[in-house]
Structures are given as C-alpha cells and as structure tokens.
Amino acid sequence: MHRRTAAAALLTAGLLAPLPANAQPTNTTQATAACEMSLGSVNAAGDHTGQGITAGSPPTASTKQIEAAKRFGPGLTRLHSTWVIEPEVPDDLAHYGEVVLGSTLYSAIYRTGAVPSDKVTFSRVGGGWDKFTYFEESTYDEGAAANFAHTHFYGLRNDGTLFRWRDGWKADGSYPGFSAVKTMTLISQTRTYDTFLANTRGGALYTIRIPVSSPMKPIVKQVRTRTWQGFESLVAERCGQYGVLLLGIDKDTKAGYLYAVGHANGTSTVINSLGKVPTTFGDQTYFRWTAVPWANPPLNGE
C-alpha cells in the first residue's frame, strides 16, 4: 500500500479548493461552506507533521500525522516557509520548502509515495538567521500559457528591518520600522505586490503591502487597534474569491483560534471569529502546506 501523507491527502482530495465565486467569507455561514487549511508543523522531536483545519462553528481539526519523522533535528527548527507538495512520476510526492535550523537557512526536500523515504536533502542558503524572527517565500505563477512568474523571499530581522530577495536569492531591498511586529503571514499574491497580515506586541493588526517594484517601499494600513497581541504564529489560507482563513496560535496556552477574514480594506476589513480549534498547538513552528503555484490559485486576501 502506498503511503499518503496527511497534508498530501488534503491537497489531492481537493479539500483546499476555494469557495464558489458567489461565496465570499464575510460571515460565518459562508466561511463554513468549504474552507480548509492544510497545516504543517515541526515538533520538538524534529518531526514534520500535517493536519487539516476545517472552518465551521465551531472549527474542527483532523488527527495530526507525521510526514517525515525526526529529520529536522530535535529542538533546532526556528523558522519555516510555506511548503509545497508536488506529484512526481510514477506515484511519488515531493515535499519542499525552506527551513531555519539554528542559525542557518536551508532549502529542503523529501519524497513519499511508491517507495516512501523520510530522508531530507538540505541545501545550505546562508547563515546569520538566528537574528531573524520571521521568514516566508512567495511564488506567484500564472502558468505556462501566460509565461509569467516570480518568487520573493522575505525575512524580518529582530531589529525590525524587513528584507526581500528575488529568484536565485538576489538581494532586492530592505525597509526598517517593523520592530513592533510580533509575527506575520502572507495573505495576498499578485503580479505587482505581495501582502502580509501582521500583529504587534501592543495588540494591533496591520496589512503590509509590498510592491514588487524597486526600491522596496511597503504600504502599511491598520486593520485593528487591539486584542491581537496573544498570537506567536499566524497562518493564512485562501478562502473564497476575496479573503482568507486565518489561524492564530497562542503558544503560551497552546491554543489556536480560527477567523474568516474578508478582503483587506483597512479598519473596514470584516473579521469573523469561528472559535477555538479543538486541538493542542504545542509545536515549535507552524506553516501552510500548499500545491504547486502554477496549479494552485494565489492567496487573495487583499
């Protein structure tokens, strides 16, 4: 019997499909219709895991499953990008993305499927990442017919400076002034900009739109003024035509709360609380599993 990972099962079963075109996540009823998140994590033992989070009232969570056992170094994983699951011929699945182990950033890949193997191949990108508090990769790809794609990497340093790199890890600007940010999550990807949702230590919630043009000049808008300071991790997944499913994780209480967030529009942004997710969030890092960009709609929260 072929091994199918929990995250792969969600993706290949179509559970991450967006809502119908006429259903926007501007209230709880619409959000419960079809929105799912394939959540990944790395635990203290160094296991790579997958778990489905389903929008509902209350939300539900599938049983967490191990994708690759003890391959990321017990206690070493600090930061994690979104990870992709890509089918390969004849019947394998490649799992790949970036991970910070200690102070070093790596690109990593492993395969499961017809001949399952938890071996992870690490390719060193660079050191000095112990000074960073957040990292993400954003790949926007309109497919072969359109012949348009780009990849950006983002890192937030502990002094509040936000950095960007382009395809091939070419430095592409930096911008200071984000020292109050606690964590971030990618919510929108287009030809001309990427947008993040960020919470601050003081409890505010902001969008940070970053145009792809140079020099790098983020556009910041306040969404909420208070109550968001409790989350150490934010994970977002596409939900409907104009919005995201947002998971906020409080590592102090090991609790997660799910929200349906409408199209970002400053303080007018609609945010509906779907409630506490009935599972424990005690792992070191959390991230989103997704499909290959050219076959998967981009995030569209702004």
Q: Is the pLDDT of residue 26 over 60?
A: no
CB 54 within 8 A of CB 83: no
Q: Is the pLDDT of residue 97 over 50?
A: yes
CA angle 171-172-175, nearest 5°? Answer: 110
Q: Is the pLDDT of residue 118 over 70?
A: no
Confidence of residue 2 (pLDDT cuts 50, 70, 90): very low
The pLDDT assigned to 152 comes to 97
Q: How far apart are CA 237 and CA 260, in angstroms?
A: 10
Q: Which percentage of the chain shows pLDDT scores above 70? A: 87
CB 154 within 8 A of CB 162: yes
Q: Is the pLDDT of residue 159 over 90?
A: yes
> How crowded is residue 22: how many other Cβ atoms within 10 Å of its Cβ?
8
Q: What is the dihedral of CA 174, 197, 180, 130, to 10 degrees?
A: -60
**Amino acid (1-letter code) at residue 99:** V
Q: Is the pLDDT of residue 285 over 60?
A: yes
The pLDDT assigned to 14 comes to 41
Q: How far apart are CA 89 and CA 276, in angstroms?
A: 40
Q: H or E stretch including 189?
A: strand 181-189
Q: What is the dihedral of CA 44, 49, 237, 227, to 10 degrees?
A: -30
The pLDDT assigned to 144 comes to 83
Q: How far apart are CA 260 and CA 57, in angstroms?
A: 11
Residues forming a β-bridge with 256: 249
Q: How far apart are CA 25 and CA 245, in angstroms?
A: 8
The pLDDT assigned to 116 comes to 60
The pLDDT assigned to 24 comes to 34
Q: Is the pLDDT of residue 45 over 60?
A: yes
